[in-house]
Structure 1
Amino acid sequence: MFATATKNFVEEVDKDGVLIPVSSLNDSIKILSLVIKRRRYWFWQKPKYLATDFCFNDILKGQPILPVLTETDFIKYNGRFSDNMQGNIEANLHPEAVNLSVEGKDSSKLRSAFGSLKKEELDLQKLLRDSKDRVLDMSHSLIQQTKEKRREVFGVVKERIETTQPSSVIEEVQQTGALGGLLSLCGPKALKVSFKENANLAKDSNVTMELPPHTTIAYGLSELEVKPNGHYELCLMSGTHGGFEVDGSSEEQLVGAIDGHKNTANSNWLKEELDKLGSHFQLLSGLKASTRSSLFQYFCSVLKEREAVSLLESVLNQMRHGERPPLDSGQADSQTQTVQALLEVLVLSGEEKSVETEDFSCTLLALHLVISALDEMSDDCRAVLGSCCTPQVLKSLDLLVQCVTEAGEMSLSSGDLAPLTGDTYQRTELLFASCGVSLKRDGELLRTEVSRQQTDPTLILCIVVKGLAAISHSVQCHL
């Protein structure tokens, strides 16, 4: 909830800027603090920032640098955010004997009362002068451990936004629902879970966080370009990146399954990238019908939970590398329970031999692709997608994605686009527009136009739609 509040704050005051939201109250972010920037597997994923317990002087040889700071009033900030969703999903599959009905209403309210905020900035000119001919202690454990990981670089905190008075974050959540039917989760071992008919579920929570003065809610970094001999340079210009120099090259190419990221979006570029990912979508559509049905229900359930999506992305990433997810099935946290339920669908727990198979690794990578794309979507975009998340509508959205990549046109009167009427069409139009795609209607003719200013959001939308459409293939659901 604190992470959601700080992310909302950054999106409101510095969208696409340099500020990074603080993700945990446990992170101690001060000027000259060292933060590790971790680049991700897929090139379109935003990097993760990991706070450390060290400051720049801890890894610097010789006398410590004494920073010169300036403080200015920033803004007074109080935000209110609300979300309301309701739906009814029924799934019936034969001959797999999977029957599931879920209906529920969710409402959430988040109030961030940060009050008057202050900006603290480092005098970079003085830092540059003090850094002349200085070297880092390359034997320091933090440097050694970070250098071993190809995607991690150091960043030095150069500015931060902090509270000046006691403030609060308040979250109210109300969830009601009914669950019934028999669900068969099929994997290497047959696992059947039986739900009582007309079982009622309810959750009502009201949580308040009281934050003390001088709580950092956002910060900015200067990355470090580190030479093998310990000399370093601060990256001052936007678009310049730090790293550890290897064989005379200070910037390693981002490792990932997709190469050749371009700065301008067009249909040819989108088609090329989606073609590279085609095997992942085919694998998902080829899973057992009962497994796809279960996966689809869980994907629908996490669409509105940012924390659950982020946690699931992290867990699947660890699983791909053969690591055990750090989950305790006995915990009551709703996000943890949601992720644990998905892992049970895949029969991960106690199936060491299955996890090590090549087919299972491919399945994990395909699921990681889709959930990573969901993790990059904005909350508003995921909320709109959630209102369109039925197999029938997703099939139509998948055809629209094909129309986008081929720069073509389609007739709304065709049976394939029949679900896109009334409110559903308006939501579809909003969904695509939020990701850089305009739907232009001329009578019954529909054309698509891709924005050249938004590259990654368009690709992310296409990945999510094609992934969910593959999972929901032949699943019978009604919303």
Structure 2
Amino acid sequence: MFAKATKNFLRDIDAGGELISVSSLNDSDKTQLLSVVAKKRRFWCWQKPKYFFSSCACLLGDVLTEEGPVKPVVVESEFVKYEDKYSDTIQGNVDAEFVAIQGNVGGSEKVESQFSFGTLRKQEVDMQHLMKDVQVTESGNVKDENTVLEIPPPTAIAYSVVELYVKHDGHFEFCLLSEKQGGFEKKLSERSICTSSGFCDSRSLCDFDVVDGLRDRFAVFQELPESQREELYNLLCEVLDDGQTVAQLQTVVEEICLGSKPGLPFLSELKSPQKEHVQKILSLVGYDLHNQKPTQQCKKHLMAAFHVLTSALDEMPDTALTIFGACCKLHLLPALCALPNITSDEGLCSRTEPLLSDLIDQGTFQIVQRLFSLCNMKLEMNEKVMCAITFKDPGFLPLVLYIALSGFHALIKNLRI
């Protein structure tokens, strides 16, 4: 609940993505000025980096060997007074097949939350002073349906990171420019290779040709028995409404693929039935989470393909995940997967194209239009054509959506759902 509140808050006030939400109250205690966090290298190029606090609160001054105590100049100011209520309503007329699921003729899903963090303050380190010295919190309530989370003051709910580039001799530089990446200086003889000792094959972070490679990679889903594919698909649809569950599932899958034994602590923040959903999902793709080992039915390429799918889902905004789930219930995946293949270089396709017939209904189109918008794409339709174009500087979100669509569509291909 805390992770969901901070994540949604940052979505509204930090469109540039400069702040990182604190995922738990335990981490909030470690979030101090000049705290040292570890950056985790991710497997796929579309995954944003993750930062982790050490078990004990480690400050920059603690890792310096020859400098005296670091005394930063702190500038504190009022950040924003935040109190907002918003909702996403998803509507669309559906056929009788969907009636059995939804319970009425018109499909309607509503996501509503209310946040009140009060008057927030931010603390910033004077970087110029800090470089010479070494060569956001207030109370609030979060309402989600009938649940209220009270966050006591002072609690850190977000932080920003300045990466360090550490040289061989122990000196380091602050990476103040966006193009400057942190890390450790490597010798010329060293080769940077991304390897994994688990289920994933070794490859560079950026050399995966998704458009050409997805069909072959997700073809392994077709090898599963139909009943198993259908169950896996339905369980994944269930967890799409909860971004935290998706994030925890992806974390476990990534650890498995990198050869670690994740165990149950990764799911400690999840409650039933979400925890049971995750355990069942993992068992369907060949991993016994309780005993921390692959099952007899486990296939290396199946887990690797599932890793690609969950990594994409984890990168989608929570609202986009919810709307993506609605598209699944409305049986729109075949049309959505066909759209990129029949669109011209100018982003146009005929409105009369039979493969797109399920998208023509105005209510349905608005749902898909909202999904595309949340993934940095613009979808429009007039009397003759449908037009899809990406926003300026869209990042990886259009690619992430394409991966998610391809993976889910591969699960239900040739099934009667």
Q: 1:84 to 1:413 in 2, by over 3 A?
A: closer
Deviation sequence 1:65-96 (CA, Å, 0-9, x none): 122211111111123344667999999xxxxx
CA–CA distance in structure 2, aligned partners of residues 22 and 250 of structure 1: 35
Q: CA RMSD in A?
A: 3.3
1:112 matched to 2:112? The reply is no
Is 1:75 matched with 2:80? yes
Question: C-alpha distance in 1, partners of 2:189/2:77?
Answer: 39
> Which 10-residue stretch deviates more, 244-253 or 10-19?
244-253
Which residue of the partner structure matches residue 13 of structure 1?
13
Deviating more after overlay: 282-291 vs 463-472:
282-291
Which of the two has greater strand per residue? Answer: 1
| Percent of matched pairs sharing the same residue | 33
Distance 1:234 1:250 in 2: 23
Check whether the contact 1:108–1:171 (CA below 8 A) recurs between aligned residues: no
1:162 aligns with 2:164: no
Is 1:233 matched up with 2:173? yes
Q: Give the aligned partner of residue 287 of structure 2.
A: 348
Q: Would the alpha carbon gap of residues 456 and 353 (structure 1) be closer, same or farther in structure 2, given more than 3 Å must change? A: closer
Counterpart of 2:159 in 1: which secondary structure? strand
Residue pairs, 1:241-390, within 5 angstroms: 241-247=181-187, 257=203, 272-327=209-264, 332-349=271-288, 355=295, 360-390=299-329
The structure-2 alpha-carbon separation of the partners of 1:444 and 1:437, relative to structure 1 and needing over 3 Å to count, comes to same
Give the aligned partner of residue 462 of structure 1. 402
TM-score, normalised to structure 1's length?
0.73
2:386 paired with 1:446 = yes
Greater mean alpha carbon deviation, residues 279-288 or residues 313-322: 279-288
Q: Distance in 1 between matches of 2:257 and 2:340?
A: 28
1:129-179 superposed Cα distances (whole Å, 9 cap, x missing partner): 1212xxxxxxxxxxxxxxxxxxxxxxxxxxxx211xx4323333xxxxxxx
- The answer for the alignment partner of 1:43 in structure 2 is 45
CA displacement at 1:57 relative to structure 2: 1.3
Segment of structure 1 superposing worse, 25-34 or 388-397 = 388-397
- Contact residue 86 and residue 103 of structure 1 kept, 8 A: no
**Equivalent residues in 2 for 1:21-36, closer than 5 Å:** 21-27=21-27, 28-36=30-38
1:394 aligned onto 2:333: yes
Shift of 1:460: 0.8
Distance 2:398 2:170 in 1: 41
| Cα shift at 1:351 | 8.5
Matched residue, 1:61 = 65
Shift in Å at residue 371 of structure 1? 1.5
What secondary structure, in the 3-state scheme, does the structure 1 residue paired with 2:264 have? coil
**CA distance in structure 1 between the aligned counterparts of 2:377 and 2:398, rounded to whole angstroms:** 7
CA distance, structure 2, for counterparts of residue 210 and residue 433 of structure 1: 32
Q: State the structure with bigger RCO (CA 8 A, min sep 6), 1 or 2.
A: 1
SS in 2 for 1:448: strand
Q: Which amino acid aligns with 2:128?
A: Q
Q: 1:233 Cα deviation (Å)?
A: 0.9
| Amino acid in the other structure paired with 2:315 | E
Structure 1 residue identity aligned to 2:231: S
Q: 1:220 is matched with which residue?
A: 160
8 A Cα contact 2:286 2:295, kept in partner: no
* Distance in structure 1 (CA, Å) of the matches to 2:280 and 2:319: 25
* Alpha-carbon separation, structure 1, partners of 2:17 and 2:370: 24
CA distance in 1, matches of 2:78, 2:318: 29
- Stretch of structure 1 that moved more, 436-445 or 19-28: 436-445
CA distance in 1 between partners of 2:407 and 2:96 (Å): 20
Q: How big is the shift at 1:107?
A: 6.1
Q: What per-residue deviation string (whole Å, max 9, x for no partner) do you get for residues 177-198 of structure 1?
A: xxxxxxxxxxxxxxxxxxxxxx
| 2:4 match | 4
- The 3-state SS of whatever aligns with 2:248 is helix
Q: TM-score under structure 2 normalisation?
A: 0.83
Is 1:434 the equivalent of 2:374?
yes
Instruction: Indicate if the aligned counterparts of 1:225 and 1:250 stay in contact, CA closer than 8 A.
Output: no
Q: Is the 8 A contact 1:226 1:233 kept in 2?
A: yes
Aligned 1:80-119 pairs, distance under 5 A: 80-82=85-87, 109-119=112-122
Q: CA deviation at 1:408?
A: 6.2
Q: 1:315 to 1:124 in 2, by over 3 A?
A: same
**Which residue identity does 1:289 align to in structure 2?**
E
- Secondary structure of the residue that 1:388 maps to in structure 2? helix
Larger of the two Rg values belongs to structure: 1
2:325 maps to amino acid: G
**Any unmatched runs of 5+ in structure 1?**
92-100, 133-160, 173-205, 262-269
Which residue, out of 167, 171, 174, partners 2:144?
171
Distance in 2 separating the partners of 1:73 and 1:119: 6
DSSP 3-state at the match of 1:366: helix
Report which of the two has the higher share of helix: 2
Contact 2:31–2:156 (8 Å) recurs in 1 = yes
* Residue of structure 2 aligned with 1:128, choices 124, 131, 139: 131
CA distance in 2, matches of 1:122, 1:251: 36
